Amino acid sequence: MKSLRKQRIIIFLLLSLILAACGGSDTAEEETVETTAAPAESLDSPSVTTAQAIKTGVGVTEEACPASYNVGGTDVPTGANPDQGCIYLGLLNDYTGPYAAAAGALELAQRAFWLWANTTGGIGGYSVAIIDGKDTGYSPAKHLEGYNAIRDEVAALAMSLGTVQTLFIMDEMDKDNMVAAPMSWYSGWGYKSFDRGLVAEFGSAYCVDGMNALDWGLENLPKEINTVGIIAYAGEYGDDYAAGVRKAAIANGVTVAWSYVPPVAEFDVAAALGLMLTQPVDAVFSGAPLSAGPQIIGGYYQQTGALPFIFNAAPAYNDAFIAEGFPVRDLYLSGAVYNMAWVGPFETDTPGHAAMRATWGNFSDSASSYVVAGWSSQYHIKGVLEAAAKGGDLTRAGIRRAASNVTVESDGMMTPRELGLDGPDPESTITAPDASVGSGSATVKANYAGPTASAYDWSQGPCS
Amino acid sequence: MTLFLQSTIEGLSLGAVYSLVAIGLVIIYKATDVLSFAHPAIAVVGAGLISYLAVERGVSFWIAFPVALLLIGFLGLILERTFLRPMVGKPVFSVAILTIGIDILLRVPLNNWIGINPKFMGDPFSTYGNFGSFTINEITIKYLELGALVTAVISITFLSIFFKRSRYGLAMLATSFDQEASLAQGINVGRIFGMVWFIGAILGALSGFFFTGGFNTLTQASFVTALRALPAVVIGGLDSFAGAVVGSLIIGLTQGYIAYYQIPLESFLGIEFGSGFSLLAPYLIMFVVLIIRPDGLFGKEEVERV
């Protein structure tokens, strides 16, 4: 009898251990307390300077990160310190959908960033590693599938690619307190009320770019802009960009002569060109698909022998357009075309860009804007993790709290910013095609905040 | 008047490009009774091959162009021999579904190769005249699209003669009517199918060049242009070359006129059609045609004995 009771106690203890090990992943996080050395007294907020111990939860281990991850057949080092614990980040990437070609550069640049961050100290006594990426195919359903596969392994997401896709998993992220770096520049990410303090936005939002493009054009171009046309996709980034242009047009008394904003599958170059030819405007603001841009510019020039000013949203321009032998290379280099950039191009002179170039040189010679996007996307997540570590709470709830109350900086790559501060950052970078640099873009004006974006009442909510 | 003529030229140019896609679809349909959904993929693979040879390998465009066409012809042969030959005598529906599989099989590696950067063909058309165009009485005509129109006319003439006069052409027609009867008459149906896919693939590559040449560029979305020829063959009739061309011109002209006249038309009618109307309109025409003539404008009515 005695031995039976003993047996029951053992079974009970074993079951308790198993249940504790499996853990409920929805809300209750397994938390451990690790005592660390007192942080240096150079922190912004006195409330976090006194933390002596770091609470940790899902996705944070005391074991060291793996030394490398295999990406596309190549071992990419994490740069992790073997004497430090590890913070694991998830990756929801598009390996098979429309952005598959950019997936490699985005991921490698993100891994390169953490290689650099780990070798320069890591985060609060921890190194950071991005686990193997999950393919979303740019489909919301697959995005959720990928998220479900990694939700119990990571402390935050290094990348959630796509606006619609990220919105689709927002409820689950909310349940898990999962903070993510978005790979999208929707103006809604600038609002805590909209992204529930879960999205660590970076770079300039499309709506702001639309406003600043027109404002800058009015201030700086040699020819007056009285009428504009808008070409974009409906429901994609183009909608947000077009909304910004329209708001700036109203603010400046400029006439929007026409807008061609069809759904993706119904985009017709002939129709866009027909509008440009039958109702000529002083400037065209384009969020056109990559294949359409050269056709529109070339087709218009064929018939008129001239071009209006053209302001492309960041995804509507590609350095291939100015490659040697490209049929409309000269038109792109004619001085009539300007491009908005998410973040300053690869060659920009800031400490952050310099660190990126130095580290990236070990990976590839590409200077694509996707490399810059991948690298810069991690700065704000790094800032959030640092704040959480300083606050002594690296559980997901702690990381979320930190994301809602932190000013992040990026070694000059982007303007320091308090995340989710009721509106997007009002600054943009304006570039022009330039064949003499690897990125194919030279900065014309950095950190430009035009009168429309500066005076706009951002409390109204996202632009589109 | 200038606007009307310009929109007509634009429409005819678009129609010419569509007609090359449509002819390729019709030739396969005529001989095999199957609407090949792999045709858009073959078209863009052809364009990709031209770009690879002329731009990445530095081969002269005038050599790369015919070599790529020939290689795509052989690709058509291989596809037929590997995937379609075992389907001889099987339900048409199954074969059509198989062509969707071939479409995916071809486009996935192509898209991986294209990546995010648009590819160009290395052709000289955009260097002729004013960025690839010349002007007659204020009407701009593009060399590339003029080339497409001429190529379409030559292709149709050649194929019409081939089908009416040549032994193999007649055998293709016979095969399309009844594969078993043709076999019984001593026609090598397998060889005929191979030939059809060889010619069809070359026509596909030809069309692929014309909608990605000049500054049109090849991207992962280029195959959508080829898909726009589908309503053209339905309007014209799936088994008629003349129908394919007329259907394509109807589609092209509709797109051209709407591109130039949609806003005046909307002001006149007081109705807004929306931004995507130029691509929707061909389908509206297709519905009207199918209601009046279910086999298309030039299609032969099928009579089946029950």
Greatest mean pLDDT range, A41-50, A378-387, B9-18, B210-219: A378-387
Query: How much is the pLDDT for B306?
Result: 60
> Which residue did the predictor score with more confidence, B78 or A3?
B78
Query: Is B226 strand, coil or helix?
Result: helix
Beta bridge pairs of residue A180 = A157, A199
Its domain, for residue B124, covers 13-223
pLDDT the model gives residue B275: 77
Q: Mark whether A360 and A333 lie in a shared domain.
A: no
Residue A121 lies in a domain: yes
Q: Are residues A263 and A221 in the same domain?
A: yes
Residues A251 and A184 occupy one common structural domain: no
CA of A291, closest CA in chain B: separation in Å? 6
Q: Beta-carbon neighbour count of residue A280 at 10 Å?
A: 15
- A384 domain-assigned: yes
Q: Residue B98: inside a domain, yes or no? A: yes
DSSP B61: H
**Is B131 close to A328, i.e. CB distance below 8 A?**
yes
- Both A295 and A179 in one domain: the answer is no
Q: CA of A259, closest CA in chain B: separation in Å?
A: 8
CB of A274 within 8 Å of a chain B CB? The answer is yes
pLDDT of residue A60: 96
Instruction: Dump pLDDT digits (tens) for B112-163.
Output: 888 878 899 999 998 888 888 898 888 888 899 889 889 988 988 888 898 8
Among chain A residues, CA nearest to B282:
A266
If asked whether residues A317 and A446 sit together in one domain, one would say yes
Q: Is residue B22 part of a domain?
A: yes
- Among B residues 148-207, those touching chain A with beta carbons less than 8 Å apart: none
Report if residue B294 sits inside a domain: no
Report how many domains make up chain B: 1
Which B residues 83-112 touch A at CB under 8 Å?
111-112
Pair (A83, A173) in one structural domain: yes
Nearest to B118 among A261, A271, A318 (CB): A318
What is the full per-residue pLDDT of chain A (464 aa) written as tens digits?
444 444 444 444 444 434 433 333 333 444 454 444 433 333 344 334 444 588 999 999 999 999 999 988 889 999 999 999 999 999 999 988 778 878 989 999 999 999 999 999 999 999 999 999 999 988 999 999 999 999 999 999 999 999 989 999 999 999 999 999 999 999 999 998 889 999 999 999 999 999 999 999 999 999 999 999 999 988 768 889 999 999 999 999 999 999 999 887 778 888 899 899 989 999 999 998 887 899 999 999 988 889 999 999 998 998 889 988 898 999 999 999 999 999 999 999 999 999 999 999 998 888 999 999 999 999 999 999 999 999 999 999 999 999 988 999 999 999 998 887 778 889 999 999 999 999 999 999 999 999 999 999 998 889 88
Distance between CA atoms of A129 and A107, rounded to whole angstroms? 12
What pLDDT, on a 0 to 100 scale, did the predictor assign at position B305? 63
Q: Which residues contact A196 (CB under 8 A, 6 or more apart)?
A: A170, A173, A174
* CB atoms A301 and B131 under 8 Å: yes
pLDDT digits (tens, 9 = 90+) for A237-263: 888 999 999 999 999 999 999 999 988
First to last CA, chain B: 55
Nearest to B258 among A101, A271, A305 (CB): A271
- Interchain contact B254–A (C-beta under 8 A): no
Query: Could you tell me if residue A448 is inside a domain?
Result: yes
Residues A328 and A193 both lie in one domain? no
Select from B200, B276, B209, B194 the least CA-distant residue to B244. B200
Token pair recorded at residue A110: 């993100």
* Structural domain contains residue B76: yes
In a domain, A272, yes or no: yes
**Packing angle between helix B241-269 and helix B143-165, nearest 10 degrees?**
140
Residues 81-140 on A with a CB inside 8 Å of B are: 98-102
Distance of alpha carbon A395 from alpha carbon A156, whole angstroms: 10
In a domain, B105, yes or no: yes
Interface of B with A in 43-62 (CB under 8 A): 55
* B248-to-A226, A228, B34, B46 alpha-carbon distances in Å: 39, 33, 19, 21
- CATH number reported for the structural domain that contains residue A301 in this entry: 3.40.50.2300
Q: Is residue A15 included in any domain, yes or no? A: no
Residue A423 domain flag: no
Whether the CB of B258 is below 8 Å from some CB of chain A: the reply is yes
CB atoms within 10 A of CB B57: 10
Judged by DSSP in three states, A24 sits in coil
Pair (A52, A195) in one structural domain: yes
| pLDDT score recorded for residue B302 | 65
Reported as a pLDDT band with limits 50, 70 and 90, residue B186 is confident
> Does one domain contain both A198 and A214?
no
Structure tokens at A459: 């409390």
The rounded distance, in Å, linking the Cα atoms of A307 and A301 is: 6
Domains of chain A: total:
2
Same structural domain, A189 and A69? yes
A contact test, residue of B18, B112, B116, B117 with most A CBs within 10 A = B116
Q: Is B198 inside any structural domain? A: yes
Q: Is A177 helix (H, G, I), strand (E, B) or coil?
A: coil
- Tell me, what DSSP letter sits at residue B207? H
Q: Looking at this predicted complex, what is its ipTM?
A: 0.81
**In the structure encoding, which two tokens stand for residue A166, read together?**
């990220």
Residues A227, A324, single domain; the answer is yes
> Within this chain, do residues A216 and A146 fall inside the same structural domain, yes or no?
no
State the residue range of the domain holding A111. Answer: 48-204+347-418
